[in-house]
Structure 1
């Protein structure tokens, strides 16, 4: 009798397990509700006290003075090149070229960024790490594309057609009065259509961002893994004063 009861219990247990395995639980409904944040909402003291030391530390790091700007630096103060654009492009050349050279034994020939990538002015006065985050809030990195002569000319034509002061460093572009290319010098030497050039830009642009399709024809692409914002901060730490100006790196003759 005991043996029969034991067999019955085992049979029922196995049947239940088998039944459960064949009927998995499924999510039948999801409910949600909107919780408005009213004007009288305040942070709970427990949370605020917990994060306060971290917030204070971050603010101290971001707001420590790294350099000084002698005047307002803007991307709106020039037609073909601007003080902010020139500063940004020059920083990328100075900071990224040693990294690129150490990996490839080559030098960056020139830098091209995009006008829209500069998101803020740099006000006259103290310059901080927070300034760099305001100017470049994105996580873009410096990438170097090797372009042939045709792609370089496509790049120049893009600049002419866009009619925007895209940041440029290491090259000089002079247009005639009809907006046609008159002179192109790279690193102080006349453009040679039969050689390749190494152009530093951002990972966003090298993938065709801002309609810069000529980068997709690159012969080689080198990712430096160096964030543009970090390059800006590193540069701020190295210099005492920022005083970029509109110059003759890209202009139109009368």
Structure 2
């Protein structure tokens, strides 16, 4: 049970034409010393059982956990989600999807080591964001990656890699696909992302205002289905291999202070 305090205020209510005045207050501790009310418990019991049956169900095991990391550190959770988005978008649309971009802000919790439950995934993604596909010119894709680096030292991506070189005052950013092929600024690419980013852009404003192709899938459902499939095959949920960003240590503090501006 969560501990806290219940505040009781005493107010004197006025007669017509008079003002109310404050008479005092009292704090009541809310902790384990307060016994549950049997009548309330009886009402809540069936609903609690339903919630526990739904959200307590174990989907798979995560022996290492998947963590977001701090700025400049590998974002294993974000990389896993971006990979799922690209794969699910390609399957749902029947199209080649070249890359995926999402935002760390949409991932609200880590996946801790041990059993992964339905509740675990809801904690990670409490929002009803949907998976969409947008078309981007290569120059806009590169710009979006750079914006994500400037704001958060890199947002989660799939099938992309960005490298910083030079100095924080004179930085150079190189963006390629995972196999090392450069992103062509003039080419058109299909990119999986969330409907939220396709509308607002968040930290990657270059994504905003696009006409998205809807997949009909919620991001949370994509993650739930992936974990459930792993569990059925008795496979563990493991962090993706490889890093999506190469950022020298000299850039980390300036990036944390948002002082790096990428041309």
Match of 2:113 in 1: 124
Structure 2 SS opposite 1:200: strand
Aligned partners of 2:166, 2:237: CA distance in 1, in Å? 33
For structure 1, the residue ranges without an aligned partner over 5 or more in a row are 1-35
Cα distance change of structure 1 residues 42 and 253 upon mapping to structure 2, 3 Å threshold: closer
2:46 aligned with 1:53, yes or no? Answer: yes
2:49 is aligned with 1:88: no
Residue matched to 2:227: 236
Structure with more of its chain in strand, by fraction: 2
Q: Contact 2:145–2:204 at 8 Å: present in 1 too?
A: no
1:185-230 Cα deviation digits (max 9, x unpaired): 2665331222211111111111124243212353x41122211111
Pairing partner for 1:69 from 62, 71, 76:
62
Task: Please list every run of at least 4 consecutive aligned residues from structure 1 whose deviation after the TM superposition is greater than 6 angstroms.
Answer: none
* CA shift in 2, pair 1:151/1:43, >3 Å: farther
Counterpart residue number, 2:101: 112
Query: Which structure: greater helix fraction?
Result: 1
Q: How many aligned residue pairs are there?
A: 213
**Cα deviation digits, residues 18-37 of structure 1 (max 9, x gap):** xxxxxxxxxxxxxxxxxx99
Q: CA deviation at 1:51?
A: 4.6
Q: Quick one: which of 194, 202, 217 aligns to 2:194?
A: 202
1:41-77 Cα shifts (integer Å, max 9, x gaps): 96672x6434532331221121111111111321115
TM-score of the aligned structures, taking structure 1 as reference length: 0.73
Instruction: Compare CA radii of gyration and give the structure with the larger one.
Output: 1
Distance 1:98 1:77, change over 3 A: same
Does 2:151 correspond to 1:158?
Answer: no
The structure 2 residue matched to 1:173, chosen from 142, 162, 182, is 162
* Residue among 68, 89, 92 paired with 1:99: 92
Instruction: Name 1:222's counterpart in structure 2.
Output: 213
SS in 2 for 1:88: helix
Q: Give the structure 1 partner of residue 184 of structure 2.
A: 192
User: Does the 8 Å contact 2:135/2:190 carry over to 1?
Assistant: yes
Secondary structure of 1:122's counterpart equals coil
Contact 2:129–2:194 (8 Å) recurs in 1: yes
